[in-house]
Amino acid sequence: MHLNWTDALRRLATILMCSLLAACHHPSAPLQHDAYVWQRQWNPAVTAALAQSADAIRAWRVLAAQTDARGQLQSVAVDRAALAATKRPVVLVVRIDGQLPQWDADTLLTQTLALRDAWHGVPLAGIEIDHDCGTARLPAYADFLARLKKALGATPLSITALPAWLASDQLERVTAQADEVVLQVHAVQSPRAGLFDPALARNWIERFAARVHEPFRVALPTYGSRVSWDDNGRVVAIESEAPLLAGGREASELIAAPAEVAKLLASLRDDPPQGFAGIVWFRLPTMQDARAWSLPTWRAVMAGVPLKETLAVFFQPGAAPGAADIVLRNDGEVDVRVPARIELPASCTIADGVNGYALAYQQGRPFLRRERDGWLRAHYQRAVGWARCGDTAAQPAMTP
């Protein structure tokens, strides 16, 4: 078989193009994952979560101390033996309340160094300062970090950063004092705007990468929060790890949906920005943390596996004669957001909702309306109401 020069050149061009495309395509590198251990009460659920998650984690970032109302550091009682058993390095996090009217830099510097020197038994990977201050206080914060960095010597220093700091010309000066920065992209706006927005988070990350020259990680959420407002629209309480006895005329559940977080994670994996070093998850989920994802969901998101939701609603015999419980069941491997409404058969003459659902009617048809947002963990079920229905074969139906 003979080729003329035109065919030969076309074939050569095709081969060269394919080679160039292959050379330009690089498989996505695995992301490094750290996790914040932010629990102030170290119970068996926390130590169990550490043991079950260590194989997926590069390092723990442990809340070790936080300032009190007087600006003094108060240590958190941490189970160092449980940390040591995971064989993962630990970054000690010192939280300086961003709402403090003032604090003594000399005292905090001394207390932070004493905290570092008192830690033994675990491989210490550094000190992190978590200080969510306003932009007006960034110059003073940069001065404090410069002093701390010098005093720490060979101990690495990391800091957290807020998207709001992008509006300040002091951003570069602050981040230059640290060896590494963690950009928080969740719970950084008014609660009315929600907890997490993947598109907005990606925008902040791109803008941050364009200005900061230090390696940075991105803090992503694994949790939800309940926010309560008073009659004047002021936030009176935010419940997350622990329930609060808080009043308020209005309350909303804010959710970081696993699918939305996974969307941003995929974009960072496929198209990492300059200087991006990995993810820090806030916070380590535990079995007792009702507003955190389940461990299987968290691991599925980290691994980048498809998040297939499997949720069913059905009647099951209730405790009272002739009554049926309305049950939601999640047979899948990922936590699922509970549906906005559950339609009941027209034959249901009496019914009511529980566990975040209330009875309502539309054009004479009964349904359960979601009053409190949230999710149902993988392999869990929950009763959300009960009903007495004439047609025992009919079943309820969900509306997202």
User: What separation in angstroms does the CA of 223 have from each of 152, 289, 298?
Assistant: 33, 9, 10
Average pLDDT over residues 344-356: 95
The three-class DSSP label of residue 212 is coil
Report the pLDDT value the prediction gives residue 25, as an integer from 0 to 100.
41
At position 108, the amino acid (one-letter code) is: L
Is the C-alpha dihedral spanning 207, 283, 228, 259 positive or negative? positive
Q: What is the distance between the terminal CA atoms of the chain, rounded to a whole angstrom?
A: 63
Give me the domains of the chain, ranges plus CATH numbers: 33-303 (3.20.20.80), 311-399 (2.60.40)
Residues recorded for the chain: 400
User: In this model, does residue 19 exceed pLDDT 50?
Assistant: no
Task: Give me 43's structure tokens.
Answer: 């119970």
As separate numbers, helices (DSSP H) first and strands (DSSP E) second, the chain gives 9, 22
Strands of 240-317 (E only): list them.
Answer: 250-255, 276-282, 311-317
User: What separation in angstroms does the CA of 164 have from each of 103, 151, 178, 221, 268?
Assistant: 22, 28, 18, 18, 21
Q: Between 347 and 27, where is the model more confident?
A: 347
| Cα–Cα nearest to 270, from 33, 31, 84, 78 | 31
Task: Give me 365's structure tokens.
Answer: 């048809």
At position 224, the amino acid (one-letter code) is: G
**Preceding peptide of 70 cis, ω within 30°:** no
Tens digits of residue pLDDT in 140-198 = 999 999 999 999 999 999 999 999 999 999 999 999 999 999 999 999 998 888 899 99
d(CA 178, CA 129) in angstroms, rounded, equals: 10
Contact yes or no for 216/268 (Cβ under 8 A): no
User: In this model, does residue 315 exceed pLDDT 50?
Assistant: yes
Report the pLDDT value the prediction gives residue 319, as an integer from 0 to 100.
87
User: In this model, does residue 43 exceed pLDDT 70?
Assistant: yes
Report the pLDDT value the prediction gives residue 24, as an integer from 0 to 100.
44
**Where do runs of H (alpha helix) occur along the chain?**
5-24, 44-53, 80-86, 105-118, 138-152, 171-175, 198-211, 258-270, 295-303
How would you label 250-269 residue by residue, b for 16+ Cβ within 10 Å and e otherwise?
ebebbbbbbebbbebbebbe
User: In this model, does residue 245 exceed pLDDT 60?
Assistant: no
Contact yes or no for 156/180 (Cβ under 8 A): yes
d(CA 97, CA 117) in angstroms, rounded, equals: 22
C-alpha radius of gyration, the chain, whole number: 26
CA triple 227-228-233, angle to 5 deg: 115
Average pLDDT over residues 314-326: 93
Report the pLDDT value the prediction gives residue 227, as an integer from 0 to 100.
73
User: In this model, does residue 1 exceed pLDDT 60?
Assistant: no
Cα 207 to the chain's mean position, in Å?
A: 21
Q: What is the pTM of this model?
A: 0.86
